[in-house]
Structure 1
């Protein structure tokens, strides 16, 4: 049971990390043209 709860917590963290990664990638894609335009 202990291993199950640890795995569940790990899966939750993985999901949060992947969501953060997707948001960061989206922001990078949106901001990149602005940065290159400012150069």
Structure 2
């Protein structure tokens, strides 16, 4: 987590792409969980 924060601080232009990648990861995890339960 500290590495991600450091990268975000050093490269502000890449912060949006990092946020998008994290959001996609969370969405995929939720879809996998729903599929497993359903």
Which residue number in structure 2 is paired with residue 14 of structure 1?
A: 22
List, as ranges, runs of 4+ consecutive aligned residues in structure 1 with deviation greater than 3 Å. Answer: none
Per the normalisation by structure 1, the TM-score is 0.65
Deviations 1:1-39 (A, max 9, x none): x71221111000000000000000000001xxxxxxxxx
The structure with the largest alpha-carbon Rg is 1
Per the normalisation by structure 2, the TM-score is 0.66
